[in-house]
Each structure stands twice: as structure tokens, then as C-alpha cells.
A and B are shown apart, each in its own frame.
Chain A
Amino acid sequence: MATQQSGTSDFINNLGKIYGMYTGGFAAFVILLAILEQVGVPNKILGFLFVGFTIVVYAMIGILSRTMQVSEYYVAGRQVPAVYNGMATAADWMSGASFLAMAGTLYVLGYDGLAFVLGWTGGYVLVAVLIAPYLRKFGAYTVPDFLAARFGGNLARFLGIVVLLAASFTYVVAQIRGTGLIAERFLGIPYDVGVFVGILGILLCSMLGGMRAVTWTQVAQYIVLIIAYLLPVVIMSAQRTGIPIPQLMYGEALQNIAALEQGMIDNGLAAADTIQRHLAPFSSTDPLNFFALVFCLMIGTASLPHVLMRYFTTPSVREARKSVGWSLLFIFVLYFTAPAYAAFAKWEVYENVIGASFADLPNWVYIWGASGKVTLCGAAAASLEAVQQACAGKDVVGLADFSIAKDIIVMATPEIAGLPFVVTGLVGAGGLAAALSTADGLLLAMANALSHDIYYRMIDRNAPTARRLVAARIILLGVAILGAYTATAAPPDILALVAWAFSLAAAGNFPALCLGIWWKRCTTAGAIAGMIAGFGTTLAYLVYTAPPPLGFGQDLIFDIQNISAGIFGIPIGFIVMIAVSYLTPEPSEEMQQLVDEVRRPSGSVVADRGRAASA
């Protein structure tokens, strides 16, 4: 124990050196693969090396971080410095969908897609100002743990777990599905086998060391994913504009897109009344839905348990606050690059594909057409013959003839820029890192709630440490297998599932967390009624409007899209919570003192005293 402690602090003191060496090692590995490619090693082997090497490194970190201490397992011993927790949170946060499909969504939707960029960053202001530092002071192991302490016990805890599972399970299924798709595309292995490999990678990272292992793996995964995300678009920007700063230079791409759009209309390649201009706001949605979506994504961000629990790991409240800033900075790097990806890809398509004769199509169209990700005239663009057959009677490609799947914009960029396969492999490794790191965090959030909140707090309060940690691992394994099973049973569009999670978490958790900290008068009955009302309303709207088989496919209310269901549930949650609180007696003096202690940074962690007292 003593040696483990000093080993840990050696590790913490040398983090900069360790991750610096890791980053250098990763760069050397990429260069080595680039050389191997030049001497003629086939792409398939390079793909396997990329995926294999990175998963082995993550698993090694996971195994080295194994622990048998409860606080290490649940909150990484509360000694993760702000900057590293920021990187881990960024990896935790940015899902496979953010990495692969965000740019594609912006490509398809133009301005309207920026709702996602705004929502998924702005929410961190709420995390920092309203919630995270206070939960850190309370010292919970899980979000339901705090709800139970503030709102009188196991009913609030149970509701917190319901919200957590509802928000996390759909989300984790999307991540597991993402790992399977990436493995399928890069390694050519069947999707089901890819899912299995992915879940193995996830479990190796999280099972032995819990939060501690996941933290240090996520830092490593952030480094891989951000390098992989930036490199192709930086090179593309240098090729197209001469300056390798895509975030500044895509203004030129935007101007070209606007000019090419006008050109297509003038040449009859696109219809003036149906073309969706990239820069035009509210062309695919109305302002009401745009802002409702921004709102739900922001509140959802501040309510997702797997994000909030990352701030339980910092050494102090002060570090927790700073850490939110670092998280947002690291997340910002990706999200302010995504619109540049979209703009450069669209520039390429409008310049070299739309209006081109079929014989002159660039090669990347066929590379991605083979798997049906690029279609022309409704058919997979597998070869020149296939395209000519599908588009019989046309001379050139019209705008409406061309379609590209939104999750390949990032992956196709290396080929569009004419870069060697090693860059494509790097992007694959980055996408995998993004999906794995988010899945790690989500699985841990669910398994921790089940093992700490249900097993330890509700079933066996006297369980010894060893048994608690064994239970935590068995539950983690069980949740992972269930997630993998669900992912292979073909769920709908990734992004839709993830967006459900935001509205559900927002309506279920946000009013209770916010008022629990900021309003002493909030009572147990109020919180419970508000959580049920908010979560219930949101879930009802999702099921009522979702197309079958998920829901009843009924008409929208006030034209609010299904994805923004939280716009009904969040205010209802607040109103019910406040109203019922006023109808019930004021919380006890002790409870008000607890709230005071949670608010005040100085003094010891609140939950630890409760734990000592009950032990």
C-alpha cells in the first residue's frame, strides 16, 4: 500500500514526461507505418497494425492501472490534475459520432448543423458554473449518490439510476456500434467480430482499474484522436489555400461554395428552389427547432452522469472548476475544426464532382462508392460502368444525383486530398479512440451506479471492500455484454440515439441537480415529483413521435422535432419541482447545513464523513 502510494505520486509528478514520450512514440509509429507503406506493405496489414497497436497500448495502460482500493476504482483516488482530467473528459465526451459524423452533419446541414457545435460546447459553461464544483465538494462516487444524500435516500437514488441508465445505455450502444463499423471498414472483418474486438478493448481498459484506468487511457486516447482529426484537414488546407490552418482558411472555401452553388443554378445542375445553401440559416429547420436543439444539447451536457463523474476525480474544488475550462478547450479544438472539414469537402465535391462528366470523376468517389457510401443517381458508385448505367441519358453529374454518407466525410478526406493510406489508417485509429474512450466512460458510469448505488447502498451495506470491487467488475462485464448484444441487433441511426440521451438526461437530472445545489427550499418530495414529471414528459414525447418500431410516429407538437423533446420536459421538471417543494415542509436544519457545506469549497469532503459515520 505504501509503495503503491509513492508509485502513484511518482506517476502523477511525471505525467508531462510520460505523455510526452507517449506522443513521440505514437508519431514515430505513424512514420514507421508510412515507411512500411512506401516499401509495399499492403493496406490491410497497415490497418491491422494501427488498430492492433493502439488497442494493445490502451489495454496496457488499463492493466498497469489496476487497483483494489475503492476510492481509486471509483474516483481515481481524487488526484487527477485539472489539465489531464480535461483531456480525459474531452475523450470521454467526444464520441465516435462526433469524430466521424459531426463534419458530415455540417456538410449536409450547413449553418443549421452548427446547433450541435454550439450545444455541445456551451453546455460546459453550465457544468462549470452550476454543477461540477459542488458535486466535487460533496465527494460523491456517482451522480445518484448525490441525489440520495440531498433528497432523502433511496427513492431519489433509484430515479437517478433510471435516468442514468436511460441516458447512458442508448449512448453506449452507439459507441459499440461505432467500433464495429470502424473495424469493418478498416480491417475488412465482419461487423459482429468488430463489435467483439471493440468490447474486448473496452473491458481491458476499464475492468481492472475502474476510473483510474479509464482516466489514464482516455488521456492517451485524446492524444491519438486529436492528432488523427487535425492532420488530414491541415494538409488539405495547405494544398487548397497554401496555409495549413484550416480553421482560419475555410472562409475561402465558404466563398467558393457560395459561388459554385450559384453556378450550379445558372447551369441547370441544381434547382433554385430546392438547393440548400451552405451558409443560409434555417434552410433545413426553423429557428424554433434550431434553438430548442441548442438548448437541449446544452442542458443535456450539464446532466450526463458520465461527464459529471469525471470532475469527481480532481484533487480539489478549485481544480474541478479549472478542469472544466481545460475540458472545453480540448473539446473546442475538435468542434471548431469540424466546420472546416465540412467546407473543404463540399468545395471539393462542388468543384470536381458536380458538373463533371462521368469519365472524369475523381478516384475517391469509386473507393467509397464500392461500399455504397457514395451513390450516383441512386446506385452505389462502384465503378464507371455502374455509374453510367445508373445515370443513363445524362451527360454530367447534377447536384441531386450525388449523395455521400455523412459518416465518411472525415474518413474520405485523406483520399480526397490524395494522401497515402497511412493517413486513412490514422483517421481510423482516431475514430476508434473516440468511440472506445466514450464507451469506457459510459460503461463505467452505468456499472458504478449499479455496483455502488444498487448493490452497496441499497442491497448489502456491509459488503467488504473486496466483494464490492468484485461485484463492480462482474456488473461491468454484464453491462458490456448486454451493450454488445444490442449493438449487433441493428439499432437505428447513431446520431438519433445519442440525441435521445441528451433530452432524457437533461429533463431527468438537470432540475434536481441545479435546485438541489442552488435552492435550499427544494424538498425531497419536490425533487422526486419533478424528476418523474420531467423525465416522464420527455420519454412520452420521444415515444409518441418517434417513427415505429421505436414509437408511435404521431404528429409533432408545436412542430418540435423529436430530437429536442427535452424542451417540454425540462421546464415541466422545474415547475413541478418548485411547486411541490412549496407545498411540502421546508427541508430540515441539517439538510440546509449540508447544502451550505456542499457550496463552500473549504472543509472536508461531505460524503466521506457520511461514509465514516455509517461504517
Chain B
Amino acid sequence: MATSNQEGWWSRTKGLMIGCLIVWAIFGFVIHFFVDALNEIVILGFPLGFYIAAQGSLIVFVALTFFFAYRQDAIDREFGVAEDD
């Protein structure tokens, strides 16, 4: 395998890592800075700020983890570094 190929793969992998961590930081921290403002919106009895901390962020984390596994596998396959099936 060519070295440039390897570098291309690693830079895509790093890109995915950084993208995932940005989403993680937004839903782990940043969005909760605005809890008071979000609590003004009430859906089905849930103030939105409370809801995001109790459920919304968690749903994003679950989806993000599965998305990461799917995307990383696609990158691995594209650059021929995936394991055999």
C-alpha cells in the first residue's frame, strides 16, 4: 500500500474524529449554557432546556456513536485498510 494512501486515510480518520468531537462538545456542554432560554419553550410538558439535558443530548450521543462506526468503516474500506469481512 502506498504511503500517500495511508496518509490520506489517516487525515480522513482525523477529520471524522474532530467532527464527532465537535458534535459531542455541542451536545455535552455548549447547548446547556442556554438552558434558561430554551426552557421558555415547552413541548408536551417538557421545558426544552430540561428535555435536552435529560433526553435530547443522550439521543444525539447514541446516534453519533453509531454514525461514527458506520462512517469510519466506510473510510477504512475506501482506502483498503478495513479488516476482512
Contact between chains at A126 and B24 (CB < 8 Å): yes
Determine whether A328 belongs to the interface, using a CB cutoff of 8 Å to chain B. Answer: yes
Contact between chains at A125 and B55 (CB < 8 Å): no
A522 → B minimal CB distance (Å): 16
Contacts of A599 in B (CB 8 A): 10, 13
Q: Nearest chain-A residue to B21 (Cβ)? A: A129
Contacts of A479 in B (CB 8 A): none
**Binary interface profile of B, 26-61, with partner A (CB < 8 Å = 1, else 0)?**
011100110110010001111101110111011101
The CA of A129 and the CA of B71, in the complex, are separated in Å by 11
19 examples of A-B residue contacts, CB within 8 angstroms: A111-B53, A114-B54, A117-B58, A118-B57, A121-B62, A125-B68, A128-B69, A130-B17, A251-B43, A279-B39, A279-B50, A281-B36, A325-B62, A325-B68, A335-B58, A339-B55, A600-B9, A601-B81, A602-B76
Contacts of B33 in A (CB 8 A): 287
A572 → B minimal CB distance (Å): 20
Query: What's the interface size class on B, roughly?
Result: 35 or more
7 nearest CB pairs, A to B: A251-B45, A321-B69, A325-B66, A114-B53, A251-B46, A325-B65, A251-B44
Which of B39, B45, B65 contacts A128, CB < 8 Å? B65
Given the interface contacts A118-B28, A601-B83, does A322 sit within 8 Å of B66 by beta carbon? yes
Given the interface contacts A322-B69, A335-B58, does A125 sit within 8 Å of B64 by beta carbon? yes
Contact between chains at B54 and A602 (CB < 8 Å): no
- In this complex, the member of B10, B53, B66 whose beta carbon has the largest number of chain A beta carbons within 10 angstroms is B53
The CA of A400 and the CA of B53, in the complex, are separated in Å by 28
The CA of A125 and the CA of B53, in the complex, are separated in Å by 16
Determine whether A324 belongs to the interface, using a CB cutoff of 8 Å to chain B. Answer: yes
Which of A114, A126, A322, A332 contacts B62, CB < 8 Å? A332
The CA of A601 and the CA of B80, in the complex, are separated in Å by 10
Interchain pairs with CB closer than 8 A, number: 131
Contact between chains at A248 and B69 (CB < 8 Å): no
The CA of A518 and the CA of B72, in the complex, are separated in Å by 15
A248 → B minimal CB distance (Å): 7
Determine whether A254 belongs to the interface, using a CB cutoff of 8 Å to chain B. Answer: yes
A368 → B minimal CB distance (Å): 26
Contacts of B6 in A (CB 8 A): 596, 600
The CA of A318 and the CA of B16, in the complex, are separated in Å by 15
Given the interface contacts A111-B50, A600-B81, A601-B82, does A125 sit within 8 Å of B20 by beta carbon? yes
- In this complex, the member of B20, B43, B47 whose beta carbon has the largest number of chain A beta carbons within 10 angstroms is B47
Given the interface contacts A125-B61, A128-B69, A318-B73, does A279 sit within 8 Å of B17 by beta carbon? no
B57 → A minimal CB distance (Å): 6
Contacts of A279 in B (CB 8 A): 39, 47, 50
Contacts of A126 in B (CB 8 A): 21, 24
